[in-house]
Chain A
Amino acid sequence: MFSWARLWLVCLTFLGCNAYAKDYLSALNELGRTATAAEISAWDIDVRPDFLGLPSGSGSVAQGEVLWLDQCANCHGDFGDSNEVFSPIVLGNITEADIRTGRVAALTDPSAVRTTFMKVATLSTIWDYINRAMPWNAPKSLAVDEVYSLVAYLLNLAYIVDDDFVLSDENMEDVQALMPNRNGMTKDHGLWSVKGVPDVVGSACTINCSVDTTITSFLPDYAMNAHGNLRDQMRDYGPLPGVQTAPTPQLSVSQPAQSDSLNQIPADLLAVSGCVACHQMNKALVGPGFTAIRARYAGADASTYLAKKIKQGGQGVWGSVPMPGMTQLDDTVVAALALWLASGQ
């Protein structure tokens, strides 16, 4: 039955209810309704480590292999070892000793790729996850026996069961006893509860603290632009503009852009000039796509007009959003951009 006393407590803590609260608390009971048995069984699909929730059924390694090659291998690789779409599920770095001890030794090896079967301690996890989420692009499409057979196939790839194995609700517990990392998890840490005890606490020192200020790591120059030009990733008019990390185009003043290069997209120039914050090549972003601009002014000898537009900005030609004047740009750069934009066919 519904506990008034508790709800009062909740009510006081959360809602600051007044003396009339009791009346509307009972009316609250009319919101929501009892779930039906069929509704619960449709949604309550989780399988716990003690196999509570596991439906009965079975599937063989052989059946699993067929399904795997058909529905899973394109993303995970024929042997579950692909790194293309996600980290490998199995990779062969589990040993017989691991299966005996229940601790995967390769987890202490920094160079070993960490696969699903190296980490997961509970067989229920694999069953539950495939059942609820795989295949990734068509989740919840597998029948119960298909899930059993796919789990059997993966267990076989990880050398936990033999080629002729048939996995079922009857023997899941036996296989659990072979899970290579079944003893590899610990709950001995302070991060489960808000009242947990931290493992590392910082120093309170404030003056002349003894710290090693040697720089041990920084991004090498070649990596600075790996995330794109940082200049375009910061507010560009404040006290802290972004650092220019894209290479600056070498445009010498005495040599204006050559006409034979006009069909090439001046990607670097567009990037360093800050255009790509608002323009993309083929579709409208804040401003129109460059392809659309080139098409509009094709054959119209519009380079002078466009140079002026770039330098001064404008509004209303493509919509109500204004383009700010690119006043910071060198005239040669503007001329080169305008020439390219005006050279569409």
Chain B
Amino acid sequence: MPVGASEQEGQLRPAPESFLSEKLISEISHSGVDNGRRDLLRGAFAAALAGASGLTFADDPNIVEVPEWSRSLGKSVATNPYGQPSPFEANIIRRQSPGLTQTDQASVAFTPLQNLFGCITPSGLHFERHHQGWVDIDPRRHRLMINGLVKEPLVFTVADLLRMPSVSRMYFLECGANTALEWGNSAVPTVQYTHGMLSGSEWTGVPLSLLLERAGYDRNASYLLAEGADGSGMTRTINLAGALEDAIVAYGQNGEMLRPEQGYPLRLVVPGVQGVSWVKWLRRLEVGNKAYATKDEASHYVDLMPSGQLRQYTAIQEAKSVITAPSAGQKLLNQGYYCITGLAWSGRGSVRKVEVSVDGGRNWQEARLEGQGSSKMLTRFNFDWVWRGEAALLQSRVHDDTGYIQPQRAALVAERGTRSIYHNNAIQTWRVSPSGEVDNVQLG
């Protein structure tokens, strides 16, 4: 990497070598360091040190010279009728994990958690998990049917549902297989791939209870089958009692209609429950008195225990947290202050407390919480940290309001083994090397 390269960008008081003039850098890189240049170098370092102690700074050309955006006419309104992120944010996109799946339609694209802020996931960066590709449904031709143990089986158009009383609630959505790759060993290089099947959104729609009341559901029924209109006809058994509390037949996400990848025009929102149950392209709800053992609760989304038994109907996402930055694949620019930041959530309620350890779990300190108290929603945590170039092992640990505490990986593996695929909510460790590079590790 050339002297003064981009790694030093992004700070107003860069490391000394960035104070070298462009001319000097190009001379050095072409002809090496001779005596004359060595003196110039010394001078530059001295100036930089003086700058660091607050005496002098080199003039920043970004201030003293007028940049092009300050001396040109900007673009017209509605140049992008649907706004786009800045081209400088091109790295912040969903990505697949090569080799994870054999096809691109029964696959996953992960959310870039490492560069997101707050608790809301931009809809365009919301992770994707499909079983038979995604479809563009014409909302005029889409219907929702409610049948089974009901007094009156019903059909609704999307217009009917848009007309009904609505609620807007914030909930996290996590795939049951999030962090699945990490049961046995450190397998993937960044938090995007370890934890990126996670999102937080505001969901708008009709309370499920209102629709089931209208249909006159059987009070003795305890199951609900939700079915999608896509090719997979995704079906999942839902715990009816739980769903009556807070499930939503949603059409809205973060203020607009659902994205097609998220089930446009209708998706079932089942707070606290793994993503596969939030059936997309929802076409039918059937009230029943027995579980359905559909393909994705009989062949997949069953958790293999060391005994050889498969846990079936594992739905709830237990409390979990992860540091999103600094995280694996990143490099601390230089020594000094860092805000360790991350996300915490619980499928059983709200986040009560998050603690951070920088020594692999030996000592813990409480982090500040943003957006706390929202049940079954992401909470952002922040923790002040001064890095002085030492090796460190970063971890976070969440407590939820039921008293549950996120377990260390070793404890979880001791009980469930390493082959259960789903519901890995273990504490994640990121190793910081003296070089500043961060990587994904597991501890004994």
Given A48-B292, A226-B98, are A186 and B310 also a contact pair (CB < 8 Å)?
yes
- Min CB–CB distance A251 → chain B (angstroms): 11
Q: Is the CB of B167 within 8 A of A14?
A: yes
Shortest Cβ-Cβ A-B pairs, 9 listed = A328-B6, A212-B444, A213-B360, A202-B405, A191-B314, A132-B233, A230-B329, A214-B444, A202-B407
Does B275 have its Cβ within 8 Å of any Cβ on chain A?
no
Which one of B98, B233, B290, B308 lies within 8 Å of A107 (CB-CB)? B308
Residue of A nearest to B304 (CB): A107
Q: Is the CB of B315 within 8 A of A240?
A: no
Does B152 have its Cβ within 8 Å of any Cβ on chain A?
yes
Q: Is the CB of B132 within 8 A of A139?
A: yes
Chain A residues in 8 Å Cβ range of B89: 235
Expressed in whole angstroms, the Cα–Cα distance for A242 and B329 within the complex equals 6
Which one of A35, A125, A331 lies within 8 Å of B155 (CB-CB)? A35
Expressed in whole angstroms, the Cα–Cα distance for A251 and B147 within the complex equals 68
Chain B residues in 8 Å Cβ range of A323: 87
Interface residue ranges of A157-209 to B (CB < 8 Å): 181, 184-194, 196, 198-209
Q: Is the CB of B361 within 8 A of A233?
A: no
- Min CB–CB distance A7 → chain B (angstroms): 5
| Contact string against B for A residues 215-236, beta-carbon threshold 8 Å, 1 for contact and 0 otherwise | 1111100011011101011111
Given A85-B102, A322-B87, are A217 and B441 also a contact pair (CB < 8 Å)?
yes
Q: Is the CB of B294 within 8 A of A227?
A: no
Q: Is the CB of B444 within 8 A of A216?
A: yes
- Min CB–CB distance A193 → chain B (angstroms): 6
| Contact string against A for B residues 433-444, beta-carbon threshold 8 Å, 1 for contact and 0 otherwise | 000011111111
Does A211 have its Cβ within 8 Å of any Cβ on chain B?
yes
Residue of A nearest to B272 (CB): A194
B interface residues (Cβ-Cβ under 8 A, vs A): 1-2, 5-7, 9-11, 26, 29-30, 75, 79, 87-92, 95, 97-99, 102-103, 105-106, 112, 114-115, 131-132, 145-148, 151-156, 160, 163-165, 167, 185-190, 192-193, 207, 209-210, 213-214, 216, 225, 227, 231-233, 235, 239, 241-242, 245, 272, 283-284, 286, 288, 290-295, 298-299, 302-316, 318, 325-326, 329-333, 338, 347-348, 355, 359-365, 393, 397, 399, 404-408, 410-412, 414-416, 419, 423, 427, 431, 437-444
Chain B residues in 8 Å Cβ range of A65: none
Does A70 have its Cβ within 8 Å of any Cβ on chain B?
no
- Min CB–CB distance B203 → chain A (angstroms): 13
Given A15-B167, A237-B88, are A206 and B239 also a contact pair (CB < 8 Å)?
no
Q: Is the CB of A324 within 8 A of B423?
A: no
Expressed in whole angstroms, the Cα–Cα distance for A211 and B406 within the complex equals 15
Residue of A nearest to B248 (CB): A14
Name 15 A/B residue pairs within 8 A (Cβ), A-sorted. A1-B216, A14-B209, A48-B290, A121-B293, A133-B232, A199-B415, A200-B411, A202-B405, A202-B411, A206-B355, A206-B364, A216-B444, A230-B190, A239-B333, A324-B87
Q: Is the CB of A108 within 8 A of B443?
A: no
Q: Is the CB of B360 within 8 A of A199?
A: no
Which one of A209, A219, A234, A329 lies within 8 Å of B439 (CB-CB)? A219
Q: Is the CB of A125 within 8 A of B294?
A: yes
- What is the number of contacts between chain A and chain B, taking CB atoms within 8 Å? 368
Interface residue ranges of A13-57 to B (CB < 8 Å): 13-15, 28-29, 31-35, 39-40, 43-46, 48-50, 52
Q: Is the CB of B232 within 8 A of A49?
A: no
Chain A residues in 8 Å Cβ range of B414: 200
The segment out of A112-120, A147-155, A337-345 that lies at the interface is A112-120
Q: Is the CB of B443 within 8 A of A209?
A: no
Q: Is the CB of B332 within 8 A of A239?
A: yes
Residue of A nearest to B165 (CB): A15
Q: Is the CB of B155 within 8 A of A39?
A: yes
- Min CB–CB distance B98 → chain A (angstroms): 6
Expressed in whole angstroms, the Cα–Cα distance for A240 and B91 within the complex equals 13
Chain A residues in 8 Å Cβ range of B98: 226-228
Expressed in whole angstroms, the Cα–Cα distance for A330 and B29 within the complex equals 9
- Min CB–CB distance A301 → chain B (angstroms): 24
Given A216-B442, A243-B331, are A234 and B114 also a contact pair (CB < 8 Å)?
yes
| Contact string against B for A residues 116-158, beta-carbon threshold 8 Å, 1 for contact and 0 otherwise | 1001111011001100110010011000000000000000000
Q: Is the CB of B186 within 8 A of A219?
A: yes
Residue of A nearest to B151 (CB): A1
Q: Is the CB of B210 within 8 A of A10?
A: yes
Chain B residues in 8 Å Cβ range of A230: 189-190, 329
Q: Is the CB of A202 within 8 A of B397?
A: yes
Expressed in whole angstroms, the Cα–Cα distance for A213 and B91 within the complex equals 33
Residue of B nearest to A130 (CB): B295
Residue of B nearest to A226 (CB): B98
Given A184-B310, A198-B318, A202-B427, are A213 and B393 also a contact pair (CB < 8 Å)?
yes
Expressed in whole angstroms, the Cα–Cα distance for A200 and B441 within the complex equals 21
Chain A residues in 8 Å Cβ range of B95: 227-228, 233
Q: Is the CB of B298 within 8 A of A213?
A: no
Expressed in whole angstroms, the Cα–Cα distance for A188 and B153 within the complex equals 33
Chain B residues in 8 Å Cβ range of A184: 308-310
